[in-house]
Amino acid sequence: MLTGWRYRIAAATGALLLTIGAIFVANVPVSQEFATAYVPLLDRFGTVSQSGIPFFRMLSLTTLAVLVSLVPLYKPRPRRILDTVHISLKRIVAAGLALATVGFFDWSYRVPRTTLLLTFGVLSVVVPVWFVWIRRRPHGAGERVLVVGDDADQIETIVTETSLPLLGYLCPTSASAGAENGVTADATAPTALADGGVEGIERIGGLSRLEDVLVEFDIDTVVLAFHEPDRAEFFGALDACHDHGVAAKVHREYANTVLISQDAVDTLVDVKLEPWDSQDYLFKRVFDVVFAGAALLFLSPAIVLIVLAIKLEGEGPVFFTQTRTYLYGNTFEIRKFRTLKPEPGGEVGTTIEEDRHTPLGQFLRTTHLDELPQLWSILVGEMSVVGPRPAQTEIEDEFENEADGWRQRWFVKPGLTGLAQIKEATSKDPARKLQYDLQYIRNQSFLYDVKILCRQLWKVFEDVVGLVCGE
């Protein structure tokens, strides 16, 4: 795999040549005649024969727009294939829209619309392929494995009991060496366990260097060796691996903490950072955007009326905001329409006390209309339509104590609804809720999501009918 300036030069040069090639392909009479004859509506844009100075003006303008738009992809940063494709397509579309917009001004040169559409149609295929290809590992290149953690004993066990090609390890300057005593690591000479290092493997740096080392050394796999699977460092490392498309392994002692294959029995087990296939993620994201966008548009009059009604009720703010957990232990702010009177101190709170009920709030909860603001969280990518419901961060420790493996829910986006919701498994029984959440994660598919959503909509309909009929 190319790294450093060689990667930057190769990435930019490839983008330049692909753009020039796409322009030539799109501009030849055969391509334009074929496109206008067989592609619906394209014949309405017309074609213009390009030659001489006009052609080179078009070539220069288009090439500049594409090269500038692709600048973020020139950095040699490990990415998942799906992320690379997504970013490439987004940048190509942005360059095409910029050229189309500039063409409307008199002072600019207008690229013929047929040529523009054909050029960017070709680029939308070849550019993602190019950036995925140059990030590939050369044939025969060995695996590069990094150990990350704060438990010196565990790091030593990994070194002595596995045959992985370990490049080195990252650990803090003060590392744990067992349950009873600690070992202070010397950052300059970590060559022996007595000195805080691990014999036979080099200490590359502290935990704060993780993302830099993943890029600099082009790491394939990270093995976690933490004394405790905490939210900040343990799951922070998993989050970094996920962002950079790097595989992760953990000792089987922590198998219940992370999402792994059910048949994993080795000393080190693979963490399923991506529980589903790329096409599942693609279909799921498209479905999320279409559903949330359409629902927000269709329900916008109802949303305006609800806002006005809450304002007229005059009992407090329009929205109730709460911190929830999502991917890899990160948190986000979830919003609902407020359905309770504020407590004496001004806080809305979560306890549904009888004297804090409002008629409007009761109606919103029964009809589930209080959940509508979460459609925006789905649209921006913090949530999905279907998935495990995000738990309240401040009381999540209680759920973890009652349900072994609760954190396995952190490996997928939380949902507006989910299998646990339609099975009426609530946080009052975390173990049962976790069982359904994991069942969903293992069996997720586009059709499964649609089935769960339809059942949830039917439950909402039944609740509304019950409210109307006074049941």
In a domain, 287, yes or no: yes
pLDDT computed for residue 194 by the predictor: 37
Whether 89 is in a domain gets the answer yes
- DSSP classification of residue 5: H
Per-residue pLDDT tens for 148-183? 998 888 888 888 888 888 888 998 875 554 444 343
What share of the chain in percent tops pLDDT 90?
32
Highest mean pLDDT among 171-180, 189-198, 360-369: 360-369
Which residue range is the domain that position 173 belongs to?
145-270
For residues 111 and 201, membership in a common domain is answered with no
Domain count, the chain: 3
The answer to whether residue 102 is domain-embedded is yes
pLDDT on residue 182: 40
Res 452: pLDDT: 95
In a domain, 284, yes or no: yes
pLDDT at 195 over 50: no
**pLDDT score of 4:** 57
pLDDT of 43 reads: 47
User: What is the secondary structure of 308-377 as a DSSP string?
Assistant: HHHHHHTSS-SEEEEEEE-GGG-EEEEEEE--BPPPTTS---S---GGGB-HHHHHHHHHTGGGTTHHHH
Please indicate whether residue 343 or residue 445 has the higher confidence score (pLDDT): 445
Q: Over 60: is that where the pLDDT of 40 sits? A: no
**pTM given for the model:** 0.69
Same domain, 261 and 285: no
Say yes or no to pLDDT of 193 above 70.
Answer: no
> What is the pLDDT at residue 299?
93
Q: Does residue 396 surpass a pLDDT of 80? A: yes
226: CB partners within 8 A, 6+ apart: 149, 150, 151, 154, 233, 234, 237
Greatest mean pLDDT range, 40-49, 105-114, 164-173: 164-173
**Whole-angstrom Cα distance, residue 412 to residue 448?**
15
pLDDT in tens, 267-311: 788 898 888 887 788 789 989 999 999 999 999 999 999 999 988
Query: Among residues 134, 160, 185, which one ends one of the domains?
Result: 134
Q: Quick one: pLDDT band at residue 265, thresholds 50, 70, 90?
A: low
What is the rounded average pLDDT of the residues 208-230? Answer: 86
How far is CA 346 from its chain centroid?
35
Q: Are residues 282 and 412 in the same domain?
A: yes
Residue 378: pLDDT band by 50, 70, 90 thresholds? very high
Supply the pLDDT for residue 3.
Answer: 52
More confident call, 35 vs 143: 143
> Are 75 and 105 in a shared domain?
yes
Locus of tokens 């004496």:
344
Least confident of 40-49, 73-82, 128-137, 350-359: 40-49
Q: Is the pLDDT at 330 greater than 60, yes or no?
A: yes
Q: Is the pLDDT of residue 227 over 80?
A: yes
| Letter string b/e over residues 438-452, b meaning 16 or more CB atoms within 10 A of that residue's CB | bebbeebeeeebeeb
**What Å distances lie between residue 411 and 132, 243, 278, 388, 441, CA to CA?**
24, 13, 15, 10, 9
Q: Grade residue 191 by pLDDT with cuts at 50, 70 and 90.
A: very low
**Of 87, 103, 134, the domain-final residue:** 134
Exposure string of 116-137, with b = 16+ CB inside 10 Å and e = fewer, is: bbbbbbbbbebbbebbeebbee
pLDDT band for position 214 (cuts 50, 70, 90): confident
Please, which pLDDT band fits residue 356 given cuts at 50, 70 and 90? low
Say yes or no to pLDDT of 2 above 60.
no
Q: What is the pLDDT of residue 439?
A: 94
Report pLDDT for 362: 84
Q: How far is CA 107 from the centre of its chain?
A: 41
Q: What is the pLDDT of residue 46?
A: 47
pLDDT band at 343 (very low <50, low <70, confident <90, very high): low
Tokens of 272: 């399923």
pLDDT given for residue 27 in this prediction: 77
Residue 139 domain flag = no
Regarding whether 312 and 457 lie in a shared domain, the answer is: yes
> Percentage of residues in the chain with pLDDT exceeding 70?
80
Instruction: Pick the more confident residue, 96 or 115.
Output: 96
More confident residue, 253 or 241: 241
**Cα(407)–Cα(270) distance, rounded to whole angstroms?**
16
- Taking the CA atoms of residue 281, residue 284, residue 286 and residue 292 in that order, the dihedral angle to the nearest 10 degrees is -140
Is residue 283 domain-shared with residue 414, that is, in the same domain?
A: yes
Whether residue 359 is found in the same domain as residue 459 = yes
User: What Rg do the C-alpha atoms of the chain give, in angstroms?
Assistant: 27
- 312 and 210 together in one domain: no
Alpha helices, DSSP H, located in 70-112: 81-102
Are residues 283 and 408 part of one domain?
yes
DSSP E strands in 51-165: the ranges are: 145-149
**Whether residue 316 is found in the same domain as residue 379:** yes
As to burial, measured by CB atoms within 10 angstroms (0-12 exposed, 13-18 middle, 19+ buried), residue 333 is exposed
- pLDDT over 90 at 433, yes or no: yes
Please check whether residues 175 and 34 belong to one and the same domain: no
- The residues near 161 (Cβ < 8 Å, ≥ 6 apart) are 267
- Cα distances (Å, whole numbers) of residue 410 to 18, 225, 250, 304: 40, 19, 16, 33
Task: Give the pLDDT score at 454.
Answer: 94
Indicate if 444 and 308 belong to the same structural domain. yes
Average pLDDT, the chain: 81
In a domain, 260, yes or no: yes
Lowest-confidence region among 137-146, 228-237, 359-368? 137-146
- Domain boundary, last residue among 253, 270, 287: 270
Is the pLDDT at 28 greater than 80? The verdict is no
